[in-house]
Amino acid sequence: MKENKVVNLYDFRHGLRVSINSYNIGERLSFNSNMMKNLYLSSLLHDIGKAHLDQMILNAPRKLNKNEFEHVKKHILYSVKEVRNLGFNEDIQNNIKYHHENYDGTGYLGLKGKEIPIVSRIIRICDTFDVLTNYRPYKNRMTVNEAFDEMEGKIKWYDEELYKIFKELIRNDNIHQLDISYINF
């Protein structure tokens, strides 16, 4: 991999939002400090490998074809390689590797249920919600209610216990409302 790749500002902000929402779930589950650290770092860095993708494909304002989608799916492998090169532990590498697994086994690599690390299951929920509620070149942002409706239509993709915790946190605490746009980078 070339060393001149950069993570764009959208992906950086996305990682921050996902990590904060994930962290709140970890707190609710009373994770110990090591699990909280792994959860935070895994969710913050889950998409770092997108810097190695063709950005024209990644940000195409349309539905991707099969070859393009296969290209985008490689970001998990690039992300794992990046965190490994940075010296992060195997738990963090696996959490990132499996963050696109669906609870029903229909994800990228075919793990299902409790085979999927709990941190990956948390990231799956927070990642999806963040993508749905923020603008992307290929879609408009949804309201919170629209995002929940969309996710509940595919509820078999998520660990329902974790999803219920997440939904409660969003409904009660508005944790997704984190506004980091004021930060000057």
CA–CA dist 149, 7 (Å, integer): 30
Which residue is associated with the tokens 């060393």? 3
Residue-wise pLDDT tens digits, 73-101? 999 999 999 999 999 999 999 999 999 99
CA–CA dist 39, 84 (Å, integer): 16
Residue-wise pLDDT tens digits, 31-64? 999 999 999 999 999 999 999 999 899 888 888 9
CATH top-level class of 9-177: mainly alpha
- Dihedrals phi, psi of 136, to nearest 5 degrees: -135, 155
Q: Residue 169's pLDDT band (boundaries 50, 70, 90)? A: very high
Domain ranges (residues) in the chain: 9-177
Show the tokens assigned to 55: 């950005």
Contact between 97 and 110 under an 8 Å Cβ cutoff? The reply is: no
